[in-house]
C-alpha cells in the first residue's frame, strides 16, 4: 500500500508524490531532509561565500596597493593576482554547483505541479 506525501508544495497544493519511509513525506518534503537542505542553503547564502569574497577583495586590493606604493615586486604581484583570479574561479564554480542543487529541487517541484495540473484537466 502506498501513501500520499503529507507535504504542501510551494504553490499551496497537496504534494502528489508517494510517501517514502515512516515520515509520511516524500523525499522532497521529508523534514529530516528539509533541515539538511536549509542548512546547506544558509551555508551557501551568506556566511562562507560572503566571507570568502570579502577576503578575496581585501587581498586583491592589498596587492594592488602594494604595487602602486612600490613596496611590492610587480612580477610577484602578477603571480599573486593570478592565484587570486584562480581562487575566484573556484568560488564561482562552488556557487554554480550549489545553485545546481537548488535548481534540481525546484525542477522536481515544478514537475510535481505540472503533474497536478494534468490531473485536474482530465
Instruction: Provide the binding-site residues for Zn ion, judged by CB under 5 A.
Output: 5, 7, 15, 17, 26, 28-29
Q: Residue 39 Cβ, how far from Zn ion at the closest point, in Å?
A: 19
Q: Residue 28 Cβ, how far from Zn ion at the closest point, in Å?
A: 5
Residues in the chain: 122
Of the pair 29, 80, the CB lying nearest Zn ion is at: 29
Of the pair 21, 83, the CB lying nearest Zn ion is at: 21
Neighbour-count burial of 59, counting CB atoms closer than 10 A to its CB (0-12 exposed, 13-18 middle, 19+ buried):
middle
Residues 6+ apart with CB under 8 A from 26: 5, 7, 15, 17, 18, 19, 20
Of the pair 7, 63, the CB lying nearest Zn ion is at: 7
Q: Residue 106 Cβ, how far from Zn ion at the closest point, in Å?
A: 14
Amino acid at each position: 500500500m502506498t501513501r500520499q506525501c503529507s507535504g504542501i508544495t510551494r504553490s499551496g497544493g497537496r504534494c502528489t508524490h508517494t510517501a517514502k519511509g515512516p515520515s509520511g513525506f516524500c523525499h522532497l518534503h521529508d523534514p529530516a531532509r528539509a533541515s539538511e537542505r536549509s542548512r546547506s542553503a544558509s551555508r551557501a547564502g551568506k556566511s562562507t561565500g560572503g566571507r570568502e569574497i570579502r577576503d578575496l577583495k581585501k587581498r586583491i586590493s592589498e596587492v594592488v596597493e602594494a604595487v602602486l606604493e612600490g613596496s611590492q615586486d610587480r612580477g610577484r604581484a602578477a603571480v599573486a593576482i593570478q592565484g587570486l583570479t584562480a581562487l575566484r574561479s573556484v568560488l564561482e564554480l562552488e556557487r554554480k554547483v550549489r545553485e545546481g542543487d537548488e535548481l534540481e529541487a525546484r525542477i522536481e517541484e515544478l514537475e510535481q505541479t505540472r503533474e497536478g495540473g494534468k490531473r485536474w484537466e482530465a
